[in-house]
Each structure stands twice: as C-alpha cells, then as structure tokens.
C-alpha cells in the first residue's frame, strides 16, 4: 500500500512538473511573439516615415507639423523666410520689418535688420518638448539641447517654438516666419 502511494505521489509530482514546464513554454512563446510583432510594427512605422509620397502633400498647410516624419518637416521649413514676429520672454512681442532667415539642411543664416548676419548649425534630433510631445528639433549640439521645433504651417506662415532652458523662470518662445517665394 505504501509503495502504491509513493508511486502515485511520483506520478502526481511528474505531472505537476510537466504542467509547470508547459506553462513556462507557453509564456515564453507569447513573450517572444509579442516582441517579434512589436518589432514588425516599429519597422513598418520606419518604412512609412522613409517611403512617403511627397507629391500628395500640401507643404504650405499642415496643422500638426510637429507630428510629421522628418522628411516632411524638412521640406516644409527649408528655404528663405521673413521673420516677422517673436513672442515670449520678458519683452512679450517683438515685430520685425527686415529680418530674414534662410534655413538649410544643417544650418540657418539670419540676416538682421541692422545688416548683421549670424549662422547657426544644427542636427535634426527627435526630442520631448514643453508642448507635451516628441518631435524633430533643430538640435543644438553645443548646448546639448533642443533648439527650434515646428508646430504648424498655414498659408506659408510657419509657427516655430523653442523651450526655455531647464530650471529657467522664462516662458517658451514662439516665432512667426512667412515664406518668401
């Protein structure tokens, strides 16, 4: 009788071990499949961003420019602009009659009203901004922080923003540029 009970216990323990192994195998398989599907989805998003039919986009009117892939943002912002207004900081709003900006692939040149000129270099980098989302910014490598980012373009008027430095009491600044044709 005792031998039979021992055999039953061994059989029950073996069944428990098989059951536990099956649970582990199923869990691992589900985890692996989840990872593979997420990778496929991420690759599909990258493909969408890199294979854009640019001929179907109205580059003079995009409400959510910040949410667009980098090639769309670049196509919208590169070119010559009249810088007509700056908002933010202590001064509030400043209007300009003769300040122009020429945005290129990796730098921009500002021609100020007084005849002076300044060139800024940047790289494109996706970053979190104060507006509560991630978008491509003109990354300032020297300061290691996001520079300008682009909110929208409406009738060739570009809404540009920049966040204050971390810990600053300043408010975010925004700028208005009008495309020069």
In this prediction the pTM is 0.67
Token pair in block for residue 82: 């009249």
Query: Which of 150, 149, 151, 174 has the alpha carbon at shortest distance from 91?
Result: 174
User: Each residue of 117-149: pLDDT tens digit?
Assistant: 999 999 999 998 877 889 999 998 888 888 899
CA angle 148, 141, 111 (to 5 degrees): 50
For the 57-179 domain, the top CATH level (class) is mainly beta
User: What pLDDT is attached to residue 140?
Assistant: 85
Bridge partner residues of 83 (DSSP): 177
Delimit the domains of the chain by residue range.
1-51, 57-179
Distance CA 81, CA 66 (A): 19
Distance CA 136, CA 70 (A): 7
User: What pLDDT is attached to residue 86?
Assistant: 86
pLDDT lower than 50: segments of the chain: 40-44, 46-47
């Amino acid at each position: 009788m005792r031998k039979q009970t021992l055999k039953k216990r061994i059989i029950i323990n073996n069944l428990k071990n098989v059951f536990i192994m099956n649970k582990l195998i199923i869990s691992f398989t589900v985890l692996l499949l989840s990872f593979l599907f997420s990778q496929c989805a991420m690759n599909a998003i990258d493909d969408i961003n890199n294979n854009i039919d640019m001929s179907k986009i109205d580059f003079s009117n995009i409400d959510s420019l910040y949410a667009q892939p980098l090639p769309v943002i670049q196509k919208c912002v590169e070119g010559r602009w009249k810088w007509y207004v700056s908002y933010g900081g202590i001064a509030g709003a400043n209007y300009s009659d003769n300040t122009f900006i020429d945005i290129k692939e990796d730098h921009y040149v500002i021609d100020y009203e007084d005849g002076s000129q300044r060139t800024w270099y940047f790289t494109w980098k996706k970053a979190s901004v104060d507006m509560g989302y991630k978008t491509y910014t003109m990354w300032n490598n020297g300061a290691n922080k996001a520079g300008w980012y682009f909110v929208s373009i409406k009738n060739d008027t570009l809404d540009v923003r920049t966040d204050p430095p971390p810990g600053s009491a300043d408010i975010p600044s925004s700028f208005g540029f009008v495309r020069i044709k």
